[in-house]
Chain A
């Protein structure tokens, strides 16, 4: 496995600088409006020429008060807010939130619902990694990669739109089930997408993987040692790139992940290149999972049929039967009734481990909801990681960490 790597020695580099250039440091503020910061991130640098001696990220420019909003909304009303956390893979957030709340009620959803959730989450993973790849490429100068990735994402958007009605802010899951079942022929279209996607993915990766410029910019840059990755609570490809083989889909399977065969790519060096390779390979593994689901798509209910106080009954019943009418009224106005207690559930999202800690005092509105954001934890390593690198390396590092500020700031 990976051994610990030491950081480039800033003192040695500084000692190598010719004496006439003097020791004055420069203060540079990168962002919050910057093309390469992937959102509204501000980093306050102290530079010694081109070398970073101190980096202090300032976040919170997209803090919208999600956790306070959650204390005032019912569980179903909060689903659109989960879309906008990691807004590049909203379906994965929807699923993580729904499962967390269902854990409160100890509610198990049927196999078809689980399969649809996993299918959409893996499609969201492909979409997110395509975006990460595209943005990383464009930050280090590869325009073509960006364009190709976005065209593939458009195809995914078309599929999402057919299923949920929205291109990406989908709000698809509900507590106890989904918003609607898959439409006629959709599964076949997903299958067609996977067939044409793999050759294009290979082509896109071939543009970067052996590209001398890309290798120069990413190999050996931003090395995260194994101990640091664990100490800072990294997760997702950032953690696996450093050699820690942790993936919640394998270690603590949820929503039926244990039935599917897939591998988890783990890096060795912990540099930007390894994280890039991890994401590329994860996309291929996601396609593998999608294919398995499409081949054995379960029949049955797409919502928990006996969760009277949690999932709204089907429309025909509501309009004809008194009990269902009352249940629907209570669920919509007061929210799905959850028991007293607290749960913590983490899902393996494309960016890392997205966790929801929900404290419930009963009723349809949570008392406290904490959203454990993978991007928040992934970014916390930045002060340590940037020191000793060049400013242009920082751009490569930010691209390889693949964070999203909507999730980081909530």
Chain B
């Protein structure tokens, strides 16, 4: 059973470009989009991390480069420990990452969710389509510039739209969410209604 230090040395011996990543709990590595599939395969086959428990992404906003980081969490059922692998997408406008559905069949749905929420394309995925939002939804919700209230769009079913006149609207936030903006003087730190201009009774005028 390799300890965390052994794992770090083993990985850096095989993959010199896989540098340790700052982590508060489990060993973590920063890899590159080109190499990450090989790193994950090595961890699964040689180090016994047989479970892919999570696959997700982080959006660091459009100003930062790289913009998207994809994170894999692996778990070893024999040694009962986790490892985190991170890789940045090279392009901010067309983020691409290799798919690991060949290594774990369960990655299928996780990658579809990443695509649905962030717009990251996983090359080699057998069937990359939206999973949580409907197929024709035009936005990627978890991107930082997408507002929590959402943007207007068409309902998934055109017939129902025509019958009821309803559509996807931006949710009336009524000034919420009520969280104080840090770093301000105490008198301004109270979470005032940030934008009371639109609520249930008055639609957003933009």
Interface residues, chain A, with chain B CB atoms under 8 Å away:
59-60, 63, 65, 67-69, 71-74, 77, 103-104, 106, 228, 230-235, 244, 246, 251-252, 333-335, 341-346, 353, 355, 357, 359, 363-365, 367-368, 370, 372, 376-377, 379-381, 384, 409-410
Are A344 and B134 touching (Cβ within 8 A)? Answer: no
Interface residues on chain B, size class: 35 or more
Closest to A409 in B: B132
Q: Mark B117-149, 1 if CB is under 8 A from A, else 0.
A: 100000000000011111000000110001010
CA of A306 to CA of B134 in the docked complex: distance in angstroms? Answer: 47
Q: Mark B49-78, 1 if CB is under 8 A from A, else 0.
A: 011111010110000000000010101010
- Our pick among B22, B53, B134, B189 for the contact of A346 (Cβ within 8 Å) is B53
Residues of B within 8 Å of A233, CB to CB, are 51-53, 104, 106
Are B73 and A72 touching (Cβ within 8 A)? Answer: no
Q: Which of B4-12, B23-31, B195-203 contacts A (4 or more CB under 8 A)?
A: B23-31
Residues of A within 8 Å of B25, CB to CB, are 103, 343-345
Are A357 and B51 touching (Cβ within 8 A)? Answer: no
Q: What is the distance, in angstroms, from B178's C-beta to the closest C-beta of chain A?
A: 8
- Our pick among A72, A380, A409 for the contact of B106 (Cβ within 8 Å) is A380
Residue B175 CB within 8 A of the other chain: no
Are B131 and A60 touching (Cβ within 8 A)? Answer: yes
Residues of B within 8 Å of A230, CB to CB, are 50-51, 77
Q: What is the distance, in angstroms, from A29's C-beta to the closest C-beta of chain B?
A: 14
Q: A73-B177, A233-B104, A363-B182 are in contact. Are A59 and B54 (CB under 8 A)?
A: no
Are B24 and A67 touching (Cβ within 8 A)? Answer: no
A-B contact pairs, 14 of them (CB 8 A): A69-B177, A73-B177, A228-B105, A230-B50, A230-B77, A233-B51, A233-B53, A233-B104, A333-B179, A333-B180, A343-B23, A344-B84, A355-B73, A372-B73
Q: What is the distance, in angstroms, from B150's C-beta to the closest C-beta of chain A?
A: 8
Q: A68-B148, A333-B191 are in contact. Are A341 and B141 (CB under 8 A)?
A: no
7 cross-chain pairs, A with B, having the tightest CB-CB distances, nearest first:
A333-B180, A60-B132, A233-B106, A232-B106, A251-B80, A370-B56, A63-B132
Residues of A within 8 Å of B182, CB to CB, are 334, 363-364
Are A72 and B179 touching (Cβ within 8 A)? Answer: yes
Residues of B within 8 Å of A244, CB to CB, are 77
Closest to A339 in B: B24
Q: Mark B178-190, 1 if CB is under 8 A from A, else 0.
A: 1110100000011
Are A72 and B177 touching (Cβ within 8 A)? Answer: yes
Residues of B within 8 Å of A355, CB to CB, are 53-54, 73
Residues of A within 8 Å of B148, CB to CB, are 65, 68-69, 71-72
Closest to B143 in A: A68
Are B179 and A77 touching (Cβ within 8 A)? Answer: yes
